Structure 1
Amino acid sequence: MEIQQESIFYPYKEGHLHLRKIAPVGGKPHLTPFFMLHGSISNGRVFYTKSGKGLACSLAKEGYKVYVLDMPGRGLSTPKIARGVNPSQTEVIREVIPSIQAFILEANPLADKVHWLAHSWGGVLMAATMLRYSELQSQVASFVTFGTKRRVSVKNVHRTVMLDLVWKRLSIPLMKLKGYFPAAGLGIGMDNESFLSLTQTFPWLDGDWVDPEDGFDYGAKLSNANLPPAWFFAAKNDAVLGNPKDVKFTFDELQFKQGQFLILSKHNGNRQDYDHANMLTHADAEYDHFIELKQWYKGLKI
């Protein structure tokens, strides 16, 4: 199916949020649309390319409308992260995700739900939004994540270097010097990260799920939540950013009534032993777990 892409610039504060709309030509307006959210030191390009590759494009070729968000300051959203431009993860939970959800529903009047799909920390932010605003739970048709973990419990050399040394120790003086974390310039991420967004992840990685800005207790909402059908993907070669053990912890913590968890590996029948990024970007993904995922969506009949 032929697809088309366009950029939507949603007004937000002093600038705008960039949404990449990827949709079939002609379209199937009865199909539930998608909302995709990237993780830390990243942007929406993890889901698509201009040439038509990636999971967002793959789903659009099945007839779905897909909206891929660049979080504040990332990708084509403006103003870009810099000294003095310091968006927080709390504002993404409280303002950005609910606003984009409402925008997608308004743009698709035949839909009363939206499929949510996230990579890495984006899944934590989406889950937190559903827990904070319980009315959104009935507006989310499904919740799929790749490499999403809220806590990091795994102990290995990769954790010591990436999390304890770079993420927690070296990033602080660097951010005080630059005003933000220059991940793209250091070659360790697709995009830079703000001081607030980065440091607000620290308490959740090792402790309780409580908002660092206003004290909202997300964990306390878990027992009464009615979360949508879910599928959490982990990758065998993801040593720390989405280690399968930590992804499984997050999956179990959310207490889905209907959910499944899968480690992408040759042992489990996949073409590759994938890692944190290439479970979405590897050329084989299109002919591997993307096929299985699309079949799962069709089975939901939403």
Structure 2
Amino acid sequence: MQSNFNEETYKIQTTNGMQVLLSRVNTLGHKTHAPCVFMLHDIGQSSALFNHPDGLAHFLAQHGYDVFMLDLMGREGTWPRVSKHMNYSVNQAITVDLSKVMAKIERLNALPSIYVGHGFGSVLLSSFIARMPEFNKNISHFIHFNARRLMTLPSKEYSFFKDVAWFHLAKIQASLFGLINSKKIMLGDAIESKVFYEQYLMLTNGRWVDPIDEFDYACALNKIKFPKSMYLVEQDNDYLAHQQDVRAYIKELGNHNAQVIWLSKKSGSLQNYKGNKILNDPKAKDDHFLKLAQWLKS
């Protein structure tokens, strides 16, 4: 059966010969200057979570949006492969990669008006808003999935995943191989550079300050008006986004229009979404996807 979607990919040259991958999806009959959405994945994940037959990218494309998704270094389609010699950092992702990608999107359509961030992807995009205002002048809405910056220890389950998986197993990989293969420790499907992983730990366990040049993201965010935001949070999964951490993150972003939707049956959802299913479960299009589509048009 012929697809009603138009899908394209672009390799974006960044620095030192590196290339990240930008994917685009819209409908065959979409308007030339349709509202533009940009999505960024969590650490250890890829844009495949969005770009799924039942995923958010196709859902928004069906509703008339021109959707772009970025794969940072270490994902399929990026170049070169991550190795122990690669010095790929959070600073580069924010100051170089996102800037280059936004310039490409602007040439293809217009700067995005809607951001979608999953987990640490939300933190990276919020940091980008704080640091690169020239690329964020059109942002009106921000959708955050299981987003938090600081990782606290409110439960045994949360402590296990944080300490054993993200700390001990990942650090062993980093020490032995100079990289982190999140698939081998059952936390994702991507490979992260040692530098990127270590800076991720610094940003999720301390001040919101750039590990390389000490740019103070928290301070910068409190000097600007942050976009209207919707936070969709898996309510019964403490290690991904505990309510305490979500609320702390919202507060860090400064005074802004924030709506939180806790996703669970007891809070009115069609089902209890587990892990990445928050982004691509078949029932989501009749549940929280529909709510965010209505919110975007409100």
- TM-score, normalised to structure 2's length? 0.93
Q: Deviations over 1:249-279 (max 9, x none)?
A: 1112212422211111112211112233111
Deviation of the 1:289 alpha carbon = 0.4
Output aligned runs, 1:193-204, within 5 Å. Answer: 193-204=192-203
Q: Distance in 2 between matches of 1:35 and 1:75?
A: 19
Q: Distance in 2 between matches of 1:16 and 1:193?
A: 15
Counterpart amino acid of residue 32 in structure 1: P
Q: Distance in 2 between matches of 1:22 and 1:33?
A: 11
Counterpart amino acid of residue 6 in structure 1: E
Q: Show the counterpart of 1:35.
A: 38
Does 2:295 match 1:293? no
Q: Once the two structures are aligned, what percentage of the paired residues are identical?
A: 27
Counterpart amino acid of residue 8 in structure 2: E
Q: Show the counterpart of 1:45.
A: 48
Q: Show the counterpart of 1:124.
A: 123
Q: Show the counterpart of 1:240.
A: 239
Output aligned runs, 1:133-212, within 5 Å. Answer: 133-212=132-211
Q: Distance in 2 between matches of 1:113 and 1:105?
A: 8
Which structure 2 segments of 5+ residues have no match?
A: none
The runs of at least 4 aligned residues of structure 1 exceeding 4 Å deviation read: none
Deviation of the 1:198 alpha carbon = 1.0
Output aligned runs, 1:271-286, within 5 Å. Answer: 271-286=270-285
Q: Show the counterpart of 1:264.
A: 263
Deviation of the 1:5 alpha carbon = 1.3
Count the aligned residue pairs. Answer: 295
Q: Distance in 2 between matches of 1:175 and 1:196?
A: 9
Which structure 1 segments of 5+ residues have no match?
A: none
Q: Secondary structure at the match of 1:68?
A: strand
Q: Do the aligned partners of 1:238 and 1:274 also contact (CA within 8 Å) in 2?
A: no
Deviation of the 1:207 alpha carbon = 2.0
Deviation of the 1:112 alpha carbon = 5.2
Deviation of the 1:35 alpha carbon = 0.8
Q: Show the counterpart of 1:22.
A: 25
Q: Deviations over 1:223-264 (max 9, x none)?
A: 211111111111112221222321221112212422211111
Deviation of the 1:296 alpha carbon = 1.2
Note closer, same or farther for the CA distance 1:195–1:112 as it changes in structure 2 (3 Å cut): closer
Q: Deviations over 1:42-99 (max 9, x none)?
A: 11101012xx320001111111111111012223211122222341111111111122
Q: Do the aligned partners of 1:236 and 1:275 also contact (CA within 8 Å) in 2?
A: no
- TM-score, normalised to structure 1's length? 0.92
Q: Deviations over 1:130-180 (max 9, x none)?
A: 111233442323111101110012421222221122212332232121110
Q: Show the counterpart of 1:67.
A: 68
Q: Do the aligned partners of 2:111 and 2:135 also contact (CA within 8 Å) in 1?
A: no
Pick from 2, 5, 17: which aligns with 2:4? 2
Note closer, same or farther for the CA distance 1:205–1:239 as it changes in structure 2 (3 Å cut): same
Q: Distance in 2 between matches of 1:107 and 1:178?
A: 39
Q: Secondary structure at the match of 1:274?
A: coil
Structure 1 window deviating more from structure 2 (262-271 vs 72-81): it is 72-81
Q: Do the aligned partners of 1:154 and 1:246 also contact (CA within 8 Å) in 2?
A: no
Q: Distance in 2 between matches of 1:170 and 1:187?
A: 10
- When the two chains are superposed, the root-mean-square deviation of aligned CA atoms in Å is 1.8
